[in-house]
Amino acid sequence: MPLFLNNDEVEQLLTMKTCMEALETLYRELGEGTAVAASRTDIHSPTAAAQSGEAPMAHYLKSMSGASPHFGTAALRFSSDIVAWRQAGDGMRREKMPTMPGNRWLGIVLLFSSANGELLAIMNDGVIQRMRVGGTNGVATRCLARVDAQTVGLIGCGWQAGTQVMAVCEARRIKKIKVYSPTRTNREKFAAETAPLVGVEIVPVDSQEEAVRDVDIIVTSTNARKPFLGPEALAEGVHLSCMQRDEANDEALIRCRPLVVHTNLTENNSTSSQLSKIAQPGFEFRDHPMQRGIDWKTLPTLPDLISGRIKGRENAQQITGFVNNIGLGVQFAAVGAKVFEAAKAKGLGREMPLDWFTQDVHP
Mean pLDDT, range 333-358, rounded to an integer: 96
Name the nearest CA neighbour of 22 among 341, 346, 312. Answer: 341
- Top pLDDT among 275 and 134 is at 134
pLDDT score recorded for residue 116: 96
Residue 271 CA: distances (Å) to CA of 41, 178, 274, 281: 11, 40, 8, 16
Residues of the chain with CATH 3.30.1780.10: 3-129+328-356
* Predicted confidence (pLDDT) at residue 202 exceeds the cutoff of 70: yes
Cα–Cα distance, 119 to 112 (Å, whole number): 4
* Predicted confidence (pLDDT) at residue 52 exceeds the cutoff of 60: no
* Predicted confidence (pLDDT) at residue 290 exceeds the cutoff of 90: no
pLDDT score recorded for residue 73: 98
pLDDT score recorded for residue 123: 98
> Taking the mean position of all CA atoms in its chain, how far away is CA 65?
15
Mean pLDDT, range 51-74, rounded to an integer: 90
State pLDDT tens for residues 87-144.
Answer: 777 677 888 999 999 999 999 999 999 999 999 999 999 999 999 999 999 999 999 9
Lowest mean pLDDT among 44-58, 157-171, 195-209, 293-307: 44-58
Contact 326, 115 (CB under 8 A): no
Q: What is the pTM of this model?
A: 0.94
* Predicted confidence (pLDDT) at residue 306 exceeds the cutoff of 70: yes
Name the nearest CA neighbour of 134 among 198, 201, 213. Answer: 198
Mean pLDDT, range 280-307, rounded to an integer: 88
* Predicted confidence (pLDDT) at residue 53 exceeds the cutoff of 60: no
The architecture CATH gives domain 135-272+289-323? 3-Layer(aba) Sandwich (3.40)
Cα–Cα distance, 100 to 63 (Å, whole number): 19
pLDDT score recorded for residue 86: 83
Residues of the chain with CATH 3.40.50.720: 135-272+289-323
What is the Cα gyration radius of the chain?
Answer: 20
Cα–Cα distance, 207 to 209 (Å, whole number): 5
Residue 57 CB contacts under 8 Å (≥ 6 apart), including other chains: 47, 49, 50, 51, 82, 83, 84, 85, 97
Fold designation for 3-129+328-356: ornithine cyclodeaminase, domain 1 (3.30.1780)
What is the average pLDDT score of the chain?
Answer: 94
* Predicted confidence (pLDDT) at residue 260 exceeds the cutoff of 60: yes
Question: Which of the residue ranges 50-59, 84-93, 239-248 has the most confident prediction, judged by mean pLDDT?
Answer: 239-248
Name the nearest CA neighbour of 319 among 263, 248, 247, 264. Answer: 248
Name the nearest CA neighbour of 12 among 358, 348, 357. Answer: 348
